[in-house]
């Protein structure tokens, strides 16, 4: 009996050794696993599902980390004998994984980065045969990500060795392919010599921007940091950068085996001007990043802070003027941004960031900023803006530039900047001024003959300005200017002596200052005092006719509720911001920083697109 009882146990051992048992089973994930079901196509423990399958089918899994060079040779042989999108992607993914493990040995890591680039290009050339394939094949997304990551690391490697703008050198890929790099091609809006440094956008992360202005696509987003005086007579902000995208292309070698010898060229592309590139006769999106360059520009504090710019006018006059936030382009309409009280160009970063993410706006507009001391009298700042715009146009005309788009300019003014912008589209003459101050005062003083006076007080609408957006503008003043802290701030402003001496008698007559109050101009002829509802500057402004040829829009804040024509943004009341005759008006729930409100920015986007349509109709 004992012998027969032993037989079943021996049979079990036999079957286990023979491998007839199966480990196939099922693991229930439930609702928590549903959202990750699709992930396995693109990412499955480090690789895509197809790459995992291929490595398993050819028993290559264990060789990758143990003998990477042998692994690469065997996988390359598979690519030669069974060329397909799947084998090329497997080669790219595994090469990129090996490169990432060698970052502390950059000379070795770069060889695998080059292999990744070779096989992603093979994938693009052989597998993207139609738009539907590009849209629905997850391998295409994997190829783009591998290409971008490898090129990012290649650029970092080149930059650390001052090779990123050089040519005529060779590197060897992990599989032994020799790659000769030619001089890069620069398709940027500035000369290479005007660029101080190139930065990888991926080395930085913007903070506190409410909109992510990035586009997924092929290529590596860069920032090109410009010299401040890179373009003659063009004033850029300190730390000015322009966005670019880096791409690479491999070509068959002119001599030798094309599978073992390549030529390579880097392409530096102006990402403001190009949204797509052609890959195997298919248009694919170009990777773009506009948020990171914008944040990079304001990473350092201003030379003069907003308090200095307001209270120490003479010290900061050199910083006033028109600033280009990107190189001039004849085909783009200027948007001139005019900041408000105790502020600067940086107040517009949220708005610029959101608007430039729209391809239509990016293609048709460019941004400029007007900087001024808000401690200055409003009339002085308005004169400076008129002169700056006229000077910019004259310079372009002298250079023989096409002024068609320049003469479709849009002004956007916030708070005090809106008052300055309103002066730019209004008109004033001797008759109106003499009625305002009294003919006897006006003509007896004789100052109407003075050139400096006429530059400030006699003007016509600037012809180039074709539309204005007023944001939280105190057209009828703000009670804040009359409060004790407003008066205290006003008294702290030090007006330059040249302004104090300028037309003193006439200015006194205009604002009814008794002759015995000689020190009044030291503290009260300034930007804050000009915001008083009873001030002479606003009384004059509201007498001036606005050009009938310039449509204007109002964007107003209400601290409590949107869409309600009333209330206040905490600084300016609705009744002060409202203007009869506005082409449109919107009230958003916001404090006084309406220019940063997302709904306000969406309204401005609408207005800018409407402006494009209107200008196109005029052309027709």
- Quick: pLDDT tens for 320-351: 789 888 889 999 999 999 998 877 888 899 99
Domain locations in the chain? Answer: 176-293, 301-477+536-619
pLDDT-derived band at 524, boundaries 50, 70, 90 = very low
Q: Hey, which residues does 181 pair with through a beta bridge?
A: 169, 264
**What are the Cα distances from residue 592, in Å, to 116, 489, 490?**
52, 18, 20
* Nearest partner of 432 among 451, 452, 459, judged by Cα: 459
What pLDDT, on a 0 to 100 scale, did the predictor assign at position 250? Answer: 92
Degrees, nearest 5: CA angle 254-255-261: 85
Other Cβ atoms closer than 10 A to 552: 24
* Nearest partner of 461 among 401, 547, 528, 377, judged by Cα: 547
pLDDT exceeds cutoff 50 at 161: yes
* Nearest partner of 142 among 77, 47, 250, judged by Cα: 47
Question: Average pLDDT over the chain, rounded to whole?
Answer: 82
* Nearest partner of 490 among 519, 529, 530, 446, judged by Cα: 529
How far is it, in rounded angstroms, from Cα 614 to Cα 617?
5
pLDDT-derived band at 520, boundaries 50, 70, 90 = very low
What pLDDT, on a 0 to 100 scale, did the predictor assign at position 378? Answer: 85
pLDDT exceeds cutoff 70 at 69: yes
Q: Which helix (H) or strand (E) holds 180?
A: strand 178-181
Exposed e or buried b for every residue in 350-370, given b needs 16+ CB within 10 A?
Answer: bbbbbbbbeeebbebbbbbbb
Helix axes 138-160, 106-127, angle to 10 degrees: 140
* Nearest partner of 433 among 425, 443, 423, judged by Cα: 443
What pLDDT, on a 0 to 100 scale, did the predictor assign at position 503? Answer: 44
* Nearest partner of 241 among 220, 223, 214, 221, judged by Cα: 223
Determine the 3-state secondary structure of 322 from DSSP.
strand
pLDDT-derived band at 162, boundaries 50, 70, 90 = very high
pLDDT, one tens digit per residue, over 392-435 is: 999 999 999 999 999 999 999 999 899 999 999 999 988 887 77
pLDDT, one tens digit per residue, over 366-401 is: 999 998 877 778 888 899 999 999 999 999 999 999
Contact by Cβ (8 Å): 423, 378: yes
What pLDDT, on a 0 to 100 scale, did the predictor assign at position 363? Answer: 95
For the ranges 21-30, 32-41, 190-199, 432-441, the one whose mean pLDDT is highest: 190-199
- Reduced to 3 DSSP states, what percent helix, strand and coil does the chain have, rounded to the nearest 5? 45, 20, 35
Determine the 3-state secondary structure of 238 from DSSP.
coil
DSSP 510-574: HTT--TT-TTHHHHHSSHHHHTSTT-HHHHHHTTSPBPTT--EEEEEEESS-TT-S-SBSSSSBH
Q: Which helix (H) or strand (E) holds 15?
A: helix 2-18
pLDDT-derived band at 25, boundaries 50, 70, 90 = confident
* Nearest partner of 298 among 359, 352, 254, judged by Cα: 352
DSSP category for residue 228: T
Residue 237: HSE in the Cβ half-sphere, 13 Å Cα cutoff: 28
pLDDT exceeds cutoff 70 at 38: no
CATH number belonging to the domain at 301-477+536-619, selected among 3.40.50.2300, 3.40.50.1820, 1.10.10.10, 3.10.129.10: 3.40.50.1820
DSSP 318-344: GG-EEEESS---TTSEEEEEE--TT--
pLDDT exceeds cutoff 80 at 572: yes
pLDDT exceeds cutoff 90 at 136: no
pLDDT-derived band at 89, boundaries 50, 70, 90 = very high
Other Cβ atoms closer than 10 A to 75: 23
State the greatest distance between any 2 C-alpha atoms of the chain, in Å, as a whole number.
140
What pLDDT, on a 0 to 100 scale, did the predictor assign at position 493? Answer: 38
DSSP category for residue 189: S
| In the block, residue with structure tokens 């028109």 | 322
Contact by Cβ (8 Å): 403, 396: yes
What pLDDT, on a 0 to 100 scale, did the predictor assign at position 494? Answer: 44
Taking residues 33-51, report their average pLDDT: 69
Contact by Cβ (8 Å): 237, 267: no
pLDDT exceeds cutoff 60 at 288: yes
pLDDT exceeds cutoff 80 at 166: yes
What pLDDT, on a 0 to 100 scale, did the predictor assign at position 39? Answer: 64
Helix axes 68-81, 85-100, angle to 10 degrees: 160
571 CB-contact burial (10 Å; exposed 0-12 / middle 13-18 / buried 19+): buried
pLDDT, one tens digit per residue, over 179-188 is: 999 999 999 9
Q: Which helix (H) or strand (E) holds 151?
A: helix 138-160
pLDDT exceeds cutoff 50 at 241: yes
Contact by Cβ (8 Å): 242, 188: yes
CA-based end-to-end distance of the chain: 107
What pLDDT, on a 0 to 100 scale, did the predictor assign at position 37? Answer: 62
Degrees, nearest 5: CA angle 519-498-477: 65
Least confident of 251-255, 415-419, 549-553: 251-255
For the ranges 114-123, 485-494, 564-573, the one whose mean pLDDT is highest: 114-123
What pLDDT, on a 0 to 100 scale, did the predictor assign at position 516? Answer: 44
């Amino acid at each position: 009996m004992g012998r027969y009882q032993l037989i079943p146990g021996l049979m079990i051992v036999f079957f286990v050794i023979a491998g007839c048992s199966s480990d196939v089973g099922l693991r229930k994930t439930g609702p928590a696993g549903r959202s990750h079901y699709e992930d396995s196509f693109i990412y499955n423990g480090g690789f895509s599902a197809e790459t995992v399958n291929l490595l398993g089918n050819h028993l290559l899994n264990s060789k990758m980390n143990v003998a990477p060079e042998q692994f690469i040779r065997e996988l390359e042989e598979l690519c030669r004998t069974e060329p397909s999108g799947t084998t090329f992607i497997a080669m790219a993914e595994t090469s990129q994984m090996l490169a990432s493990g060698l970052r502390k040995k950059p000379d070795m890591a770069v060889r695998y980065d080059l292999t990744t680039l070779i096989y992603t290009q093979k994938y693009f050339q052989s597998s993207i045969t139609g738009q539907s394939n590009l849209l629905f094949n997850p391998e295409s997304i994997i190829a783009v990500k591998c290409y971008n990551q490898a090129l990012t690391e290649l650029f970092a490697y080149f930059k650390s060795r001052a090779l990123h703008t050089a040519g005529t050198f060779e590197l060897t890929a992990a599989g032994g392919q020799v790659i000769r790099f030619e001089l890069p091609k620069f398709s940027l809006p500035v000369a290479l010599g005007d660029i101080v440094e190139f930065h990888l956008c991926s080395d930085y992360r913007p903070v506190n921007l409410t909109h992510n202005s990035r586009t997924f696509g092929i290529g590596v987003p860069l920032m090109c940091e410009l010299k401040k005086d890179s373009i003659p007579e063009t004033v850029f902000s300190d730390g000015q950068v322009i966005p670019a995208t880096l791409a690479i292309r491999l070509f068959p070698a002119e001599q030798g085996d094309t599978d073992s010898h390549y030529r390579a060229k880097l392409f530096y592309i102006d990402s403001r001007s190009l949204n797509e590139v052609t890959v195997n006769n298919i248009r694919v999106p170009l990777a773009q990043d506009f948020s990171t360059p914008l944040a990079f520009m304001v990473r350092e504090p201003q030379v003069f802070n907003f308090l200095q710019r307001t209270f120490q006018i003479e010290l900061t006059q050199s910083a006033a003027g028109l600033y280009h936030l990107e190189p001039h382009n004849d085909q783009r309409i200027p948007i001139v941004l005019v900041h408000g009280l105790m502020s600067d160009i940086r107040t517009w970063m949220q708005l610029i960031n959101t608007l430039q993410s729209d391809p239509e706006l990016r293609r048709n507009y460019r941004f400029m900023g007007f900087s001024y001391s808000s401690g200055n009298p409003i009339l002085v700042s308005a004169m400076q803006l008129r002169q700056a715009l006229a000077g910019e146009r004259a310079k372009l005309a002298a250079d023989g530039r096409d002024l068609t788009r320049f003469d479709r300019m849009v002004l956007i003014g916030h708070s005090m900047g809106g008052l300055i912008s309103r002066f730019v589209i209004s008109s004033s003459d001797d008759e109106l001024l003499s009625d305002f101050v009294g003919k006897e005062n006006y003509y007896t003083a004789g100052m109407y003959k003075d050139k400096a006076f006429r530059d400030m007080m006699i003007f016509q609408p600037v012809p180039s300005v074709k539309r204005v957006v007023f944001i939280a503008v105190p057209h009828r003043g703000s009670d804040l200017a009359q409060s004790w802290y407003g008066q205290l701030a006003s008294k702290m402003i030090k007006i330059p002596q040249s302004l104090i001496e300028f037309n003193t008698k006439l200015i006194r007559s205009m604002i009814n200052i008794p002759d015995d109050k000689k020190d009044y101009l030291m503290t009260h002829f300034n930007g804050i005092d000009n915001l008083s509802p009873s001030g002479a500057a606003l009384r004059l402004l509201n007498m001036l006719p606005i050009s009938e040829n310039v449509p204007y829009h109002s964007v107003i804040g209400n601290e409590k509720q949107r869409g309600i024509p009333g209330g206040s943004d905490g600084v300016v009341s609705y009744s002060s911001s409202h203007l009869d005759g506005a082409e449109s008006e919107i009230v958003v729930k916001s404090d006084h920083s309406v220019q940063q409100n997302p709904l306000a920015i969406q309204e401005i986007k609408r207005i800018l697109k409407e402006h494009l349509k209107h200008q196109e109709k005029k052309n027709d």
